[in-house]
Amino acid sequence: MGRTVPALLVGLAVIAAGIVLALVRVNPYFYFAGYVILQFVVIATAWNILGGYGGYVNFGTPAFFALGAYTAVVLIRSLKAPLPVLIVAGGLVAALLGLGIGYLTLRLRGVFFSIATLALSVVLQTIIMNWEYVGGSRGLSILRPSGPPFGNYGVFLFTVMLGLAVVAVMTARFIERSWIGRGLAALRDNEEAAECMGVPTLRLKLFATTVSGFLLGVAGAPFPYYVTFIEPNSAFALDYAVNALAMPMIGGTTSWIGPIIGAVLLGTAQQVAIVTISSELNLLIVGVVLVGFVVVAPEGILGLVRRLRTR
Amino acid sequence: MFSWDLLANAVVAGLLLGGFYAAVSLGISLIFGLLDIANIAQPAFVIVGSYAAYVLHDAYGFDPILTGILLTPVFYLLGALVYRIYYASFERRGDEALRGLVFFFGLLFIIEVSLSIKYGVDYRLVQTGYLSRSIDLGGVGIAFRYLVPCLIGVAMTAALYLFLGRTFYGRAIMAVSQDQAALRLMGADPIHIKTIAFGIGIAAASLAGALLISIAPVIPSTDRDYIGRMFAITVLGGMGSIAGTLVAAMILGVVESLMATFFGPSWSLAVSFGILLAALAVRPAGLFGR
């Protein structure tokens, strides 16, 4: 744990830099695009806690993300709750779903677990589409609160997401370096063997699915304020599921820095592609890059770097 | 007041739907059930079959089902190619479980996005004269739109059943699913056999896709509705059991149809997930499990 203090300082420095950036007020598009990239840092990091460390591939990222977003919608409509409350509540509700799929791992392993999470996403979307209070399938407009810090809500959300990204990465880094991370790595490599060696596999899996779910919900909670119009098809977009696994896969799944590399590279590439080419073509790029990486460089960019170093 | 007519109609509609579901699920039964390859891109290949039928019908007025049959060799080759890539990249290295799954998920996404770039997200449907007719059997209406796909689904099941049980290659596929090493000792190349099986699985998607677009309008993201259904049917039927696939498909069809009739069509998607979970929790070996 000797390197925890410097890491905390780096985290604080990043947040401070974000606040300075918010005060400087560069081109508004920068904050708009930056928010999306930071949101993907949170999503990719959260996915990697379960998928990269524990080896359980979750295709249901949109379910958790949208659950966070729709929890926020309910709280905005009923209580006009402030943003921090939305984020914590969105995270907690998604964490509950995470705990649920954690118990699912008792029965469903490997492929079946992944299919179940994908199906879960479809079912949850069906429920939301039938629920008129949150807009049903037609969607719902969300009014942003007036008088935000930094004088602009988009800039404010950017700094909030930056803070969330730092928290997510710190959490992942802590898990990776503690006995929890080693336990998860053991069950990723061989669950039966880990169980036999006394690794508390169920508790570890429940922990990983809950934390992963919490962070995914946290990433989704500010989403209604970001888009100002929420509807199921955008909140449950398959893009989140593909990005959530493409980014860690491209960066490297065994280290906390892998998802950041993947999210920044792929997120930036997508933002550039949306502006210069088209929004659908940019999704195609994600798919092709993902398949290309799993076929050619299964260890991701970190693996490539490691291979170059040992040569 | 409970309506028996409504119930009878729902059950018949469910059985017809089930026959069609069997056609959709046969491919994954073969690829996932027997070969143990988690090809979650299978529904995307079905949608490719749908769009092929749509394009050829739109441009030249080809019959969709005939197109589906004629295109099977093309899909077979496509499937064989996909398997070779999968084999070279994952199976040979021995890390097919996690990365193979991601590979197929990426493939599903690429196919879906490519289709929506090329054809947009408008609903497409192929309508032909004979499919729009229907007959009435004592208060129970039977639409040809459902009857024809159901009959073809049953015929496909029978054909695959006979192929696997009676022919040399069919038996070889059964053998490779049981013991790959033993097959190698017998002088057969398991990779060759698996390529054939995978190709047949994808070829089935061509016809299934043509049936799909004859039944209901299709958009590129329709494939997601079928992921849950396909795997629920395969698991419920008992991994790799062809007869089980038909029975499980009929069960799913009837339950979905009853849900749609008595609770509203928007809930029918939840059925497959419920059945999948129940099957895995109560009887993981499925109805006809080995």
> Which residue in the set A118, A129, A291 is minimally distant from B227, CB to CB?
A118
Q: Determine the pLDDT at residue B284.
A: 66
Q: Indicate yes or no: CB of B110 within 8 angstroms of CB of A291.
A: yes
Range of the domain at B37: 26-222
Q: What is the mean pLDDT of residues B19-37?
A: 92
DSSP per-residue letters across A144-169: PPSS-GGG-HHHHHHHHHHHHHHHHH
Would residue A61 count as lying in a domain?
A: yes
Interface of B with A (CB under 8 A): 32, 38, 40, 85, 89, 93, 95, 97-99, 101-103, 105-107, 109-110, 112-114, 116-117, 221, 224-225, 227-228, 231, 235, 266-267, 269-270, 272-273, 276-277, 280-281, 284
Lowest-pLDDT choice from A202-211, A302-311, B247-256: A302-311
Query: Cβ separation of A129 and B269 shorter than 8 Å?
Result: no
Q: Could you give the number of structural domains in chain B?
A: 1
Cβ contacts of B12 within 8 Å, gap of 6 or more: B140, B142
Give the Cα separation of B14 and B253 in Å (integer). 4
Average pLDDT, whole number, for chain B? 87
Three-state secondary structure call for residue B229: helix
* B144 lies in some domain: yes
| % residues pLDDT > 70 (chain B) | 96
Do the domain assignments include residue B251? no
- pLDDT score at B8: 85
| pLDDT score of B137 | 76
Q: Would B134 be classed as within a structural domain?
A: yes
Q: What is the structure's pLDDT at B273?
A: 76
Q: What is the pLDDT of residues B104-156, one digit of tens each?
A: 989 999 999 999 888 888 888 888 777 777 787 777 778 888 889 999 999 99
CB under 8 Å to A275, separation ≥6 — which residues? none
* Angle, helix A4-24 to helix A153-177, in steps of 10 degrees: 170
Note whether residue A42 is domain-resident: yes
Give domain status of residue B248, yes or no: no
Looking at the domain assignment, is residue A48 inside a domain? yes
pLDDT (mean) for B172-188: 83
Alpha-carbon distance B60 to A94, whole Å?
50
ipTM entry: 0.82
Residue carrying structure tokens 């993300």: A65
Tally of domains in chain A: 1
**Mean pLDDT, residues A29-33:** 87
Q: Which of residues 125-164 of A touch B (CB under 8 A)?
A: 126-127, 129-130
* Residue B264 pLDDT greater than 90, yes or no: no
Query: By the 8 A CB rule, do A183 and A200 touch?
Result: yes
Yes or no, beta carbons of A111 and B225 under 8 Å apart: no
Is residue A108 over pLDDT 80? no
A57 part of a folded domain: yes
Average pLDDT score over residue span B72-87: 94
Please list every residue in chain A whose beta carbon sits closer than 8 Å to the beta carbon of residue B113: 280, 283-284, 287
Report yes or no on A289 lying in a domain: no
Structure confidence at residue A65 as a pLDDT band (50, 70, 90): very high
Q: Is residue A276 part of a domain?
A: no
B208-234: pLDDT as tens digits: 999 999 988 999 888 888 888 888 898
* B14 contacts B253 by C-beta, under 8 angstroms: yes
Q: Is the pLDDT assigned to residue B290 strictly greater than 70?
A: no
Question: Does residue B279 lie in a domain region?
Answer: no
A185 belongs to a structural domain: yes
Query: Is the model's pLDDT at A255 over the cut of 80?
Result: yes
Task: Give the number of other Cβ atoms within 10 Å of residue B136's Cβ.
Answer: 8
Between the alpha carbon of residue A24 and those of residues A20, A40, A297, the distances in Å are: 6, 24, 40
- Write out the two tokens for B165: 């049980």
Specify the pLDDT at position B49.
94
pLDDT, tens digit (0-9, with 9 covering 90-100), for A151-199: 788 888 999 999 999 999 999 999 999 999 999 999 888 888 888 888 8
**Residue B12 dihedral angles phi and psi, to the nearest 5°:** -65, -45
**Domain-located, residue B44:** yes
Chain B residues in contact with A298 by the CB 8 A cut-off are 93, 95, 99
Q: Given this model, what pLDDT does residue A11 score?
A: 86
Amino acid B120: pLDDT:
83
Confidence of residue B268 (pLDDT cuts 50, 70, 90): confident
Domain of A145? 4-235
Is a pLDDT exceeding 60 seen at residue B60? yes
Render pLDDT for B2-22 as a digit per residue (tens, 0 to 9).
678 888 888 999 999 999 999
Q: Do A249 and B102 touch (CB under 8 A)?
A: yes
Cα distances (Å, whole numbers) of residue A124 to A117, A119, B127, B261: 10, 9, 33, 21
Cβ B77 vs Cβ B14: under 8 Å: no
| pTM of this structure | 0.86
Domain-embedded: residue A166:
yes
